[in-house]
A and B are shown apart, each in its own frame.
Chain A
Amino acid sequence: MRPSGTFRVVRMLMLLGFAVLFFGPLLAMLDFSTRGVDGSRTWDAWANLVKDPELNRAIVSSLLLALFTVLLMLLLLVPTMIWVRLRVPRATRLLEFLCLLPLTIPALVIVVGITNVYQWVTYLLGDSILNLTFVYVVLVLPFAYRAIESSLSSIDATTLAEAARSLGAGWWTVIGRIIVPNIWSGVLSAAFVSVALVLGEYTIASLLNYENMQVVIALLGKSDANTSVAASLAAIIFAFVLLMLLSVFGRSRRAEGR
């Protein structure tokens, strides 16, 4: 059904309205962060993004956290999901329930109750902001699960596995060299969503008194509003580019109308 003429016009206007609503503040952030004294334009605040040592340290920490979270999440989740699908199908409901559980338990609640656990982590691994990786993996679980699950359920994993096993492949080969390449788009999607989430995480880092990127941006807002707005805008643009790349390079999901 092709949309009618009036419909297209109305649609265009409404989309324009939404565009103003959502891009307006972003433009305002650009204006705010380039405001100089007496109405001039200056890129000082943006230069601060690379010059300010505290902000740099926080950006590096956040990027490292994103990397480690993705790695640990993939290591933990992908083999488990594939194993459940291939060998323990009865556990599917349980796995789904557990992976979606973090949606029901707010990050704020997790951090209120996690002090003891983190005392142990600090005792065993030393004190570093990278310890946040462990709780971040829990936070990204629902989104990663959904992304990988939609990919996994669109291929016939059982047949592939059986074929590989009959040719003598071991389980790790099946998981790593047969299944994973076929669910690559789901894996990539999970990775990108996790990166976006970790870069934007504030609740747990601030209440555990770690200084990740969002915490430092919030702190900067108290002394240097321009730089913090510049940093926020930069982070939003970075995450947007990341997710756009994902949608361009990820392969399409189920065809329509199957």
Chain B
Amino acid sequence: MSRFSRLAPSLALLPFLLYLTVFLLVPTITVVVGAFTEGGRFTLSNITALVDPVTLAALRTSVLLSAVSALIGATFGAVLAYLVVTGGRRSWLRRSVTSLSGVLAQCGGVMLAFAFIATIGFSGTLTIWLRDHFGIDIFGSGWLFALPGLILVYAYFQIPLMVIVFLPALDGIKPQWREASVNLGANAWQYWTQVAFPLLRPAFLGATLLLFANAFAAYATAAALVSQGNPIVPLLIRSGLSSEVLLGHQHLAFALAFEMIVVVAIVMGIYGLLLQRTSRWLR
């Protein structure tokens, strides 16, 4: 077979590859290049700006927000996923939970922000109810718009995401294993701590990492909720791009975007490794 006719089938992939290159790789390379240039010349000043106290504080808050919301999402999400799995594969419970999870996890953003403003915002339903009936003011001076509030709202889309990602892992727990362990004399506690948890651990950790990356990269929710201040990296990027006071900070935005790629890439890389380990057992 000639070189060309061996290559020919691969050529059919060209449109797809070209499309991805233009709309995914080019922007990424633009960002990487932009992080290291200023006015057309190579410079490290943008990268050194990343260790400014302000940018470091934003990175710290971003990492804290992502980590805490990932842990909350992972624990509660795993519990909810387990509750759903015990209901059977085609039950209405499972269907509606997966659908609602799909909605909340993926079209979160602005709508979630408004859901929380409507619930515990200044004139939120819960706020008013507590104020009128118990005299408790849960709105205070606006903790909803700072880190604690962000953690709460983020958890709201992290838990559904965990349900979606972790359900397949729970599906892979074969009932035969439970039966086998009972036959060997194990009680429920021993089954869980010595059989199920160790098997689920890679999937659980991997899912937690996925949740972390998801929270770190999230923009819409914070953008809709926080109107003043740039406590996290994505909002700092927004300010760099559209501030009318601090001009010429576009390249800082590139550097911050580069920082985001690095963090998310590291996390997703570890996730990939854990995924390989999981698939061995739960095939």
Contacts and interface: CB of A to CB of B under 8 A. Distances in A.
A193 B111 contact: no
Contacts of B175: 1, 257
A190 interface: no
A141 to B, nearest CB: 8
Given A80-B16, A108-B217, A108-B219, A256 B89 contact: yes
Interface of B: 9-10, 12-13, 15-17, 19-20, 22-24, 26-31, 34, 76, 79-80, 83, 86, 89-90, 93, 95-96, 98-100, 102-104, 106-111, 114-119, 123-126, 156, 160, 171, 174-176, 178-179, 213, 216-217, 219-220, 223-224, 234, 237-238, 241, 253-254, 257, 260-261, 264-265, 268
A240 interface: yes
A32 B118 contact: yes
B99 A202 contact: no
A228 B224 CA distance: 12
Nearest to B267: A104
Chain A interface residue count: which class? 35 or more
Among B17, B83, B115, the most chain A Cβ lie within 10 Å of the Cβ of B115
A193 B30 CA distance: 29
Given A15-B83, A109-B261, A232-B110, A25 B9 contact: no
B114 A29 contact: yes
A245 to B, nearest CB: 9
Given A202-B220, A257-B174, A3 B86 contact: yes
A63 interface: no
Contacts of A202: 109-110, 219-220, 223-224
A107 B213 CA distance: 12
B103 A239 contact: yes
Contacts of B125: 27-28, 31-32
A79 B16 CA distance: 10
B72 to A, nearest CB: 12
B65 to A, nearest CB: 15
Main secondary structure of the interface of B (DSSP, over half): helix
Given A113-B29, A202-B220, 13 more contacts: A25-B116, A28-B115, A32-B119, A105-B264, A108-B237, A134-B23, A196-B103, A200-B108, A202-B109, A229-B115, A236-B107, A243-B99, A256-B89
Contact of B107 (A112, A196, A229): A196
A32 B110 contact: no
Given A106-B219, A109-B28, A113-B26, A197 B107 contact: yes
- The 8 A-B residue pairs with the shortest CB-CB distance, nearest first, are A200-B107, A106-B217, A113-B27, A113-B30, A32-B118, A202-B220, A28-B125, A243-B99
Interface in A16-49: 18, 22, 24-29, 31-33
A26 B116 CA distance: 9
